[in-house]
């Protein structure tokens, strides 16, 4: 077997792990664990992002009319996560592999310090041959500040851990060029940068998870733009993961081809931080042109025309053009008060250095 990738993040969706009645499909879990173990033994570095906590907790506890949606999610995920990780632990133990649980929240991606702390934790695990199994800490996550779904989380993890590929295992074969129920429809095998597939995306949500094809595609594109290959495939099919990783085997799936070129680790973090922006810097037409051109340029005070909001040095800010359209985001070098004083001035240090700019 010639391996296509040496470092991968594998996202396993709730629908792959649950049976039609909502209970955990241990046979499927075991088959996936066999494949991951095989790859691990071949030296592939793997971070797993596994859903299924809420679904499995729900099947244990049953739906209660006395609890609201948030309470149910908290209860189900706390029970279900314990069950899920317990199964994984035992299944991997049969292969002599140790796994560890990482439960995270969106807030852990909000500052560079928390982000690096988290990355370090997973690096230590990998260095010690432990496979991290990540999930959102649904039990304590606040609804307003949750990941859209585990597809989003897996994208952040793949990017944070500098993976070569993110493999999203779902219960469909990939993205179809029509309705998946229409026999004429075919899976789009490869999607290049800039290729618009929005017409094909079904907005139906998954049965047991929060995700859907729409978020999968958006995340996949974003991650592929950072130089990471993203593959959406059917995790219910036999040996899917092994076939995907084998250079010689062609298997039905949708591959978002990674853009060429390195994206620095800081830029990867910034790319995902839009939701945490504390303010805005508006720039004039010349600056907008320079920023969106081919060369890497910094945002200088001379090109800035307006500062919106209150922010501290090192916060994430949005960069807007003079018509108020978003150009991208960046990590700002000055607080908002100082930035206001510097507006329009010549010969000053950049407000946002090009290494810390992520333009759309």
Structure tokens at 320: 């807007």
Choice between 211 and 235, CB closer to ligand GLU: 211
Cβ neighbours of residue 147 closer than 8 Å, sequence gap 6 or more: 106, 136, 153, 156
Verify binding: residue 52, ligand GLU, rule CB under 6 A: yes
Structure tokens at 80: 């279900």
Choice between 105 and 298, CB closer to ligand GLU: 105
Choice between 211 and 330, CB closer to ligand GLU: 211
Cα–Cα distances (Å) from 239 to 43, 123, 154, 233, in that order, read 18, 27, 21, 11
User: Taken in order 84, 131, 74, 156, is the CA torsion positive or negative?
Assistant: negative
Choice between 147 and 358, CB closer to ligand GLU: 147
* Segment near ligand GLU (CB under 6 A); pick from 35-43, 132-140, 175-183, 306-314: 132-140
Rounded least distance, CB 134 to ligand GLU, Å: 10
Judge contact between 77 and 53, C-beta under 8 A. Answer: yes
Centre a 10 Å sphere on the Cβ of residue 140 and count the other Cβ atoms it contains: 11
Residue 110 DSSP SS3: coil
Helix (H) or strand (E) holding 36: helix 26-41
Rounded least distance, CB 174 to ligand GLU, Å: 18
| φ, ψ dihedrals at 218, nearest 5° | -60, -45
Rounded least distance, CB 135 to ligand GLU, Å: 5
Torsion of CA 88, 90, 96, 99, to 10 degrees: 40
Choice between 150 and 243, CB closer to ligand GLU: 150
Rounded least distance, CB 76 to ligand GLU, Å: 8
Verify binding: residue 55, ligand GLU, rule CB under 6 A: yes
Verify binding: residue 150, ligand GLU, rule CB under 6 A: yes
* Segment near ligand GLU (CB under 6 A); pick from 112-120, 131-139, 174-182, 348-356: 131-139
Could you say which residues in the range 170-209 bind ligand GLU, by CB under 6 A?
A: 209
Verify binding: residue 132, ligand GLU, rule CB under 6 A: no
**Positions that interact with ligand GLU (CB under 6 A):** 14, 51-55, 77, 135-136, 138, 149-150, 209-211
């Amino acid at each position: 077997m010639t391996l296509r990738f040496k470092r991968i993040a594998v996202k396993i969706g709730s629908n792959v792990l649950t049976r039609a009645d909502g209970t955990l499909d241990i046979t499927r879990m075991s088959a996936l664990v066999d494949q991951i173990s095989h790859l691990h033994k071949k030296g592939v570095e793997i971070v797993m992002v596994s859903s299924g906590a809420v679904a499995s907790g729900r099947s244990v506890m049953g739906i209660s009319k006395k609890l609201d949606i948030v309470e149910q999610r908290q209860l189900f995920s706390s029970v279900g996560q314990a069950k899920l990780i317990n199964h994984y632990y035992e299944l991997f133990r049969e292969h002599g592999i140790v796994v560890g649980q990482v439960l995270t929240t969106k807030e852990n991606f909000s500052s560079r310090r928390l982000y690096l702390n988290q990355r370090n934790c997973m690096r230590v695990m990998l260095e010690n041959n432990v496979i991290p199994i990540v999930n959102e800490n649904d039990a304590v996550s606040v609804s307003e500040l949750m990941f859209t779904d585990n597809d989003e989380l897996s994208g952040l993890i793949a990017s944070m851990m500098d993976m070569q590929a993110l493999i999203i295992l779902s219960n469909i074969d990939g993205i179809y060029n029509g309705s998946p129920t229409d026999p004429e429809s075919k899976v789009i095998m490869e999607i290049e940068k800039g290729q618009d597939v929005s017409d094909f995306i079904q907005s139906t949500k998954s049965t047991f998870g929060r995700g859907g094809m729409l978020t999968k595609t958006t995340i996949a594109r974003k991650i592929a733009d950072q130089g990471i290959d993203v593959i959406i495939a059917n995790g219910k099919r036999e040996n899917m993961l092994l076939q995907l990783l084998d250079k010689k085997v062609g298997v039905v799936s949708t591959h978002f081809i990674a853009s060429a070129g390195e994206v620095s680790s800081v830029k990867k973090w910034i790319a995902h931080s839009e939701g945490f922006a504390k303010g805005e810097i508006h720039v004039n037409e010349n600056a907008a042109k320079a920023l969106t051109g081919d060369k890497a340029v910094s945002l200088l005070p001379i090109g800035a025309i307006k500062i919106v909001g209150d922010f501290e040095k090192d916060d994430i800010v949005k960069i807007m053009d003079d018509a108020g359209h978003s150009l991208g985001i960046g990590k700002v070098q000055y607080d908002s008060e100082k930035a206001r004083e510097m507006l329009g001035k010549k010969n000053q240090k950049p407000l946002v250095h090009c290494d810390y700019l992520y333009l759309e």
